[in-house]
Structure 1
Amino acid sequence: MQDEKAFIASLLNPKTQDIAFRQLVSQYSRPLYNHIRNIVIDHDDTDDVLQNTFIKVFQNLKNFKGESKLFSWIYRIATNEAITFLTTKSKKNNISNEEVQQKALNSLQADEYFEGDAMQLKLQQAIASLPEKQQLVFKMKYFEDLKYEDISEILGTSVGALKASYHHAVKKIEDFINSH
């Protein structure tokens, strides 16, 4: 993609905004889908959250100050939308976010978009047993291979704290897999 400042300018210019936004959607759809899917688990829910993310991005482009990378800003919106979705769903069903994720995990085997085997399902169960922050850090680092610096910008947490969270998450996942 072109220089980020020029691209942001084209997103903000009414004459080039439509083309630039289509380019943004094209570039970010797959990675954002994967990121959101890691959080909400269910395919249909992921599609809904992805759509809401792009709506929020479009609505808030004029507020983007360029203090972080466009990538980090978009991922922060996607992360917040996914967490908000889980919170809303849990309140609607009068259960915790963890229970929402557990229900989604239980239906994962029947999900035609899930291509994993028994070990991958066990890994997903192990991840679901982690606190929400550790889940996010682990998924962003392990599945998406994001740099700690990028995760730090997205989640607004120090790199040191992220490394500690990731280390604790890995240890808990190893313990879960070895004991189940």
Structure 2
Amino acid sequence: MDLRAEILLEHSRAQSLRIAGWIGHRANRFAALIHLFLHDEYRVVQRSAWIVSLVAEKYPELLTPHLPAMVARMEEAGMPVAVKRNVLRILQYLVIPEPIQGPVMNSCFTFLEDPLETVAVKAFSMTVLANLAKDYPEIKNEIRLLIAEALENNPAPGIRSRARKVLKSIG
């Protein structure tokens, strides 16, 4: 299968599921998908993000070797929001390896502080930080302050809903 061509062929749930099924638990195919997700043009990045999420749900162990590159790419200036949004979406369901916890934490705090950041990126950042707060309870106060600021600056329903859940989870 020409993975890139198939991704560009059609943007639908059925197509994404078909490609995810073809990738399955094969590390080499997943690596090719990750390469497209991290390095291709916007439309390919956007469409491959959904497939990455689908495969990661079933086979989260395939992500492990790619997490450092995904986190590094997410931190780059000018990165398509689809990369940030989907990397964070995935990270909220994983136990983040210790070597990348610091960079992930820094990125999430930066995204929460940015008044121009999208609602989805802010919401996923809140959840990732709440998960990290289980190992780093000293960050809870900073999370609370940033959530209060986010609610003040952008009281979008997605921010309010996620903020309530995160505040409840961190106590």
TM-score by length of 1: 0.29
Structure number with bigger Rg: 1
Higher relative contact order (CA 8 A, sep 6+): 1
TM-score by length of 2: 0.30
